[in-house]
Structure 1
Amino acid sequence: MQVQELLSLSDIARLAQVQRPVVTVWRSRSRGTETPFPEPARTVGSQDFFDAAEIVSWFKATGRGNNPEFDADAAAFSNIARDNFHSVSALLVLRQLWDRPFKGLGSEDLLDAADGIDPDDEFLYSELEAASDHLEFLAAYVDKLVDASYGALPALQSLVSDRFRATETAISRTAISAQARQLVARCALELSGVEMYFHEATHAGSDLIHELARSLDESAAAVIQQPAVTGSPSPEVRMALRRLKMLASANESLSLVKTRPGNQQVVHVAQFPSPGMPTTDPETILHEIDDLVLELGPAQGAVVIAPADVLIDAMPSKKSASIRGSILRMGRVRAAARLPQGHLLYKPRTAMALWVIGPEAKGLPLAERRIMLSNLSDLELDEQVIDDFATDIGASLIGDDALRSHAFRFAQWARASVVVASTGSLIPGKRNTNASAAVDSSSLAKRQVQLELALDHLNSSAKDRPELKIELRPRNIDELPSRDHRKGATPLGDLVSQGTIRLISGTRFTSQALDSVPSEGIKVWNAADLREGLPTSVVSYFDLAQAYDQAVLTKAGDVVFTAHGKPTAVVDHQGSHAVNYPVRILRIDSQESSGIMAEVLVKDINDAQHSNWRRWDIRRLPQDMVAPLESSLRIIEEERLAAAQRIGQLDIISEQLISTLLSGEAEIINPSICTEGRP
């Protein structure tokens, strides 16, 4: 069988590290020259495919593109892996486990090696046997692919991440975002304790266990229980096992074991829909979750991610409500969270949700148990949100004492009995304003519990804040900086010309690129955002790579500003944001050597009275004062954020108190107010 290595125009653009339209220009302008663009080797529908070897030769002859390693990298962008997904992935795993290149080996040699690695044909032998008529070609291609990807593991990861370009619809339709995977992984780590024993309970596997492995400390030993393979497993199940074999082989701290009897403290991670069960039918998913919870040992737990209309929202039928109620009545669901839309990549308008299922709560009746409910639907799942939510989960698993000692950021607490009895949504959200919500129940007891817990959290967080200490000492005359340094004001234009501050232009994004709602993307600073201090628009990763590949992202500590209208600037503490012209970036070369601090720079820009940025006077600090001021400002910022959180808690308490008293079913027995801790 003849197999040809082909590249589409998009593949060629990725290989050359240019935008897609550039390749079209090359193709048209090279006609009639001494080095015309190669003719298509195959056309499928309206899409042309080109011989990879001819394209590499053309690049060498013309010097086009930005990739000096065309020849070595071509294999990573060709169609071979996509068109032979399972056989190429099997060869990659074989090469990793066998630990030798395939050069010089025939089909029989490769099948013998596969038989030695997989004698029971659990994960790769059948895939290679099915491709035996062109196995030598694929093996030679895999050798090139491994070299281009700097290893078999990165090559397999790239192949799997390219799922939207492949024909693996079961995988592509169930993929979830990196942020959602990270959230599940962090919660699983909080649930695991010291045992570090995990199992992928997703049908045919998912990316969850791999994300979890990436989240582990490099020195932490962990055990992954591989799924049992029985009967004739589907291609997706075999692919999942290949990925686990590769993962364990490439990580010495991971041990891959078969199912063990007994009650190890296993943490299961499960995703619905999954490659092996791509349905989103609530009843089917709830039956699967029910089976999972019933099979858990007393010390085991699980983290489940599924559509919010299954885990959180009002049930579409009485049967679905009954199944979910029976799961909740087991008393092992310890936390539930509604996530923002966009994290089920194939259906970005579908909101996902999370359940954290803990070990059995011994000696505590259901009526006295509490469930942590969190609505994250209006938040971006950035690193800080993921970290804070996982910390809340860890504290909630300790017991009731933690409810008073930990300042929860996202928790709303509800009695488990109230949640079980709810006929509507467990958590109120934009799509469920008419549903009966457990946390908005009219139950007086429920409201009292919420109010008491909110007050405890508020007082605890106030007492936990350290005393703010910033001490100043007058300097002696001989310690004062030089007169020149005390003048300290230099026009911004001079600082840019000297290279002390680097001016980086913004990118002119189209309104279409920013008006879309991508499932994943980069936040973009607009001029209007500078007044609020947060970027609001998003550009998709695809648009950024294809249409705006010259865009420069901010680094943490950069100043973003605009001179149009009233000069406005803000420090981008997080970084990794794009800027939309007329917003521009100011990057300080070195704060300590230049004496220029981002916060001072922002203040000077915001105080400017004209729009000629070159003439804005920027003040400098004595060099020995940069580090102390930076440290003090960091402490002040932490206190400011804590105060903002306290204000939010006070608003919640105020609303709860008013609604409780308006019901006429309760009264305040002590009108005096004692403020504990510092405000």
Structure 2
Amino acid sequence: MERELVSLSDIKELAEVGRPTVTNWRRRHSAHASASAGGGRSAFPEPVGGTDAKPLFDAEEVARWLDRRPAPNEPGGPGHRTYGDRFRHGLRLRGLVTLRHEVGSTELVITSALALAAGQEADGDGVAVELPDAPLAGGVGVDSRVRKVMKELIAVEGPARAADRVLNLADRLDSDLPMTATPEPVVRLVGALAGSVAGLRVIDLSADTGNMLLALPGLHRARAITAVEADPLRRTLLRYRLLAHGVAQGQVYEELEESGSPVADVVVADPPYAPVERERDAVGPLHWAEHAVRLLAAEGRAYVLVPTWTLTRPRGQNHGPTVEARDRLLSRGHIETIVQLPRRVHPFLTGAEFALLVLRPAREPEPVLLVDADRIAQRPGVGWIDEVTVAVDGGAAPGPEAWRRVPVRPTRPGTERLLDGRSVLPAHRLADPEPGTVHLRRVLDARRSAAAALPRLRGWLGEVDVSEREIRGRHRKLAEHLRAGQLRLLSGHRIKDADIADTGLVVIGREEMLGELPVGRRRIALESLTRYPKAVTTEAGDVLLLTEHGVRSRVDETGGCVLLAPVQGLRIAALRAHRRREAEGEPVDPADLWMRPQTLAQLLQAPRNQRRSSGSLVRRVSVRDMDLPQVSGAEVAEAEAILNETERLRAEVRRQLEALDELSARLAAGLADGAVAVRRRAT
């Protein structure tokens, strides 16, 4: 019989350990080390094939050696006593992977395996397997090799865990089943929020292979279970999986209408993913949420997974069905909680972000709990699912950055509300105030620190008068100023590296905004710029923005620059005429200009806007969603004078630091090369 060979990577995977552990086993238990240690210590098996770079080992020899190494117990695990048990168990599962070509198809292997786990034996000779494809339908016997693997697997792990393990292997079987499955962290969160469903009526509107449904505690004791899945293969697998888990009362339908007019205490749904390009479709993700609430009993709850773009689209002149559905859910009091899930929570849709809606039957709108689980998950050592569950259950005090209740309608004039046509994403709403900050005290502390560090500026700092506002200022989104024509957004352009030179117009991109390159190092010749007819040059006073992983801004004092994407610019429409009147000596009231460059730049990168980032792969802040306070032109003029002087002083200090850095670097270089001698002159 031909022996099975495994690599070191295979041993790592099959024994469920890290690669360093396998390397350590081989090094510490080599034949030489074992002989030196004496005492009959068993040596790690020697390679029987492969190369020095990728040695191959006899699988049975490795399993016998691993039998001597006890494995730690895992709560809820299969109870493997040794790493050898784990290793052999992994080999059995891998056997299913190799069988898919011999049996006929991946779908047949998976369906047969789950049918065996469900106990769907027709007679003693074979198993009647329900297959979704018409050419294969009609009861097909299970291959004896699949039967052997599953018999051993079920004996060790039980039918439920065996069925789950087979589905977890689907990606290695080149199946697309995992691509649509609800991610494991999401199903654990839904299970924690929903609690036990024993004695309740449960509906899953988009069940797939049952990940979210089977995460509900007490499902096997539920009063009634209805699952809907349009795909024939997934519907078949779901039936078998429910039986394998001991859920005999589950009914699986192609369409909900087949089940009559059900009413549920718990509804879950993970609708098919829809990209933002589908926002104007008549039926979108939020329509699934509306469908879910129509099925709820009086005290029922629904848990629906939606992409975050359904929550961020603003209401405008041409808003589509998505915004209308969101407004209906809010105005009718259906939305109880919005949980923004951590970035990259879906292993196959890493560029998409998701949110979980907790919904209830219609009632007078109450404040909605907004939870930013992405922010919670970024904290070291924090179990975000547990913390979100505590927040939703009301067992913890609100954390302004992580969760807070926001009213649907204004409680008094000027207060925040969700029905204002703006994004309702928690990352955007919870970023508004800087939490726990007494601003006046912080400003006065900063002024005292500056006076202590820069004694020569004490006189000027004393002239900076700061006081508490009697009424907290209101804010407007940049989108409103853009629509009104008060600001103009300048987009950056993608310019080929071959067109970047050292002469011509200054180019400002990500590197210049981050300080990695000095402004002016990169340029583009005028003749090269003609290849980019949509490229615009900046004017003096334009504010340049980089909104990736926070907000960085600077004022272009000279103009004539070309912006490289992702850098953007903002132009104050009234600034050019205001400066022209000043230059011509016309009488100008400083209060006539509603906003000024340095003030705009600093306001945009204030903490209020810094924390509005979203995006799964690159965290960006939407320029249109940024806030600007409504203040008078006179106050803006005062702030501009102070901020301009502050910026001038900062530039002066930077020049001093750069000069000292250069001196230190040159002294060190000369000493290192043995070219200079350094001493202090005697005074």
Pick the TM interval, shorter chain. 0.3 to 0.5
Relative to the length of structure 1, the TM-score reads 0.46
* Structure number with bigger Rg: 2
Q: Which has the higher helix share?
A: 1
Relative to the length of structure 2, the TM-score reads 0.46
Question: Which structure has the higher relative contact order (CA within 8 Å, separation 6+)?
Answer: 1
